[in-house]
Structure 1
Amino acid sequence: MGDLTMYRYDSYDQAIVDARVEEFRDQTQRRLAGQLTEDQFKPLRLMNGLYLQLHAYMLRVAIPYGTLSAAQMRVLGGIARKYDKGYGHFTTRQNLQYNWIKLSDAPDILAELAKVEMHAIQTSGNCIRNISSDQYAGVDAAEVADPRPWAELLRQWSTFHPEFTYLPRKFKIAVIAADEDRSAMRLHDIGLKLVSRDGVIGAEVYAGGGMGRTPMVAPLIRDFVTEDEIVAYLEACLRVYNRYGRRDNKYKARIKILVHEIGVEEYRRQVEEEFAHMRQQGLNPPVEELARIRAFFAPPAYETGLSDKIDRADPAFALWVDRNVAAHKAAGYAIVNISLKPQGGIPGDASAEQMELVADLADRYSLGEIRVTHAQNLVLPHVRKADLPAVWQALEEAGLAEANLDLITDIIACPGLDYCALANARAIPVAQKIAARFADPQRQRDLGELKLKISGCINACGHHHAGHIGILGVDRKGVENYQLLLGGSGAQDASLGQITGPGFSEDGVVEAIEKVTDIYLEQRQDGERFLDTYRRIGMKPFKEAIYG
Structure 2
Amino acid sequence: INGAREDRAALGWYDVGLQLVKNDAGELGFKVRVGGGMGRTPTISPVLREFLPWNQLMNYLEAVIRVYNRYGRRDNSWKARIKILVKAEGQAYIDQVNEEFRQIVEDEGGPHTITQAEYDRVAANFREPDLDLSPANAEAETLELLRTAANEDRDFGRWLTSNVLPHRHPQLRAVMLSFKRLGYAPGDATAEQMEAAAELADRFSGGEARVTHEQNLLLPWVRRDQLPALYQAAKALGLAKPNIGLLTDMIACPGGDFCSLANARSLPIAEAITERYQDLDELWDLGQIDLHISGCINSCGHHHSGHIGILGVDKDGKEWYQITLGGSDGTTLSGPAIGGKVVGPSFTAAEVPDVIEALLATFRALRKPGELFIDALRRIGHEPFKQAANAARHPKADQEALAEQD
TM-score, length basis structure 2: 0.89
Shift of 1:304: 4.3
Bigger relative contact order, structure 1 or 2 (CA pairs below 8 A, ≥6 apart): 1
Is the CA contact (8 Å cut-off) linking 1:190 and 1:205 kept in structure 2? yes
Distance between the aligned counterparts of 1:526 and 1:239, measured in 2? 52
Q: Give the alignment partner of residue 528 of structure 1, picking from 371, 375, 378.
A: 371
After TM superposition, give the deviation of residue 459 of structure 1 in Å.
0.3
Write the letter of the residue equivalent to 2:197: V
Deviations 1:365-405 (A, max 9, x none): 10110000111110110001111111111111111112111
For residues 171-226 of structure 1, the C-alpha deviation after alignment (integer angstroms, 9 at most, x for no partner) is xxxx1123311111111111011111111011110111111111111111111100
Question: Is 1:425 the counterpart of 2:252 in the alignment?
Answer: no
SS in 2 for 1:342: coil
The correspondence for 1:251, drawn from 65, 78, 82, is 78
4+ residue runs of structure 1 moved beyond 3 angstroms? 298-306
What pairs up with 1:36-435 in 2 under 5 angstroms?
A: 175-197=1-23, 198-263=25-90, 265-280=91-106, 281=108, 282-283=110-111, 284-304=113-133, 306=135, 307=139, 309=143, 310=146, 311-312=149-150, 313-435=152-274
Partner of 1:473: 312
Unaligned runs of 5+ in 2: 392-406
The structural deviation recorded for 1:300 is: 3.9
> 1:527 deviation in Å?
2.7
Deviation for aligned residue 1:498: 0.4
In structure 2, the partner of 1:162 is none
CA distance in 1, matches of 2:240, 2:378: 32
Indicate if the aligned counterparts of 2:328 and 2:338 stay in contact, CA closer than 8 A.
Answer: yes
Give me the whole-angstrom Cα distance separating, in 2, the residues matched to 1:409 and 1:401: 13
User: Secondary structure at 1:242's aligned position in 2?
Assistant: helix
| Whole-angstrom distance in 1 between the partners of 2:164 and 2:373 | 22
Greater shift, 497-506 or 325-334, is seen at: 325-334
TM-score, with structure 1 as normaliser: 0.66
Q: How far apart are residue 436 of structure 1 and its match?
A: 0.9
Offset of 1:303 from its aligned partner? Answer: 4.3
CA deviation profile, 1:75-118 (whole Å, cap 9, x unmatched): xxxxxxxxxxxxxxxxxxxxxxxxxxxxxxxxxxxxxxxxxxxx
Q: Displacement of 1:250 after TM fit?
A: 2.1
Indicate if the aligned counterparts of 2:131 and 2:206 stay in contact, CA closer than 8 A.
Answer: no
8 Å Cα contact 1:209/1:217 also seen in 2: yes
Cα shift readout 1:324-349 (whole Å, capped 9, x = no counterpart) = 11111111211110111112321111
SS at match of 1:367: coil
For residue 279 of structure 1, give the secondary structure of its aligned residue in structure 2.
Answer: helix
Q: Is the 8 A contact 1:302 1:330 kept in 2?
A: no
1:512 aligns with: 355
Residue identity in the other structure for 2:369: D
Supply the distance in 2 between the matched residues of 1:443 and 1:337 (Cα, whole angstroms): 21
Distance 2:66 2:370 in 1: 46
Letter in 2 for 1:292: R
Aligned length: 373
Q: Residue 486 of structure 1 contacts residue 497 of structure 1 at CA under 8 Å; is this kept in 2?
A: yes
Sequence identity percentage: 48
Q: Gapped runs of 5+ residues in structure 1?
A: 1-174
Aligned residue number for residue 91 of structure 1 = none
The 8 Å contact of residues 344 and 435 in structure 1, kept in 2 or not, is answered as: no
Which residue of structure 2 lines up, in the alignment, with residue 458 of structure 1?
297
Name the aligned partner's letter for residue 230 of structure 1.
L
Q: 1:541 aligns to what?
A: 384
**1:194 and 1:204 in contact (8 A); partners too:** yes
Whole-angstrom CA distance in 2 between matches of 1:243 and 1:302 = 50
Shift of 1:500: 0.3
- Asked if structure 2 preserves the Cα contact closer than 8 Å seen for 1:453 and 1:466, the reply is yes
Preserved contact between residue 294 and residue 310 of structure 2 (Cα < 8 Å): yes
Which letter maps to 2:388? A
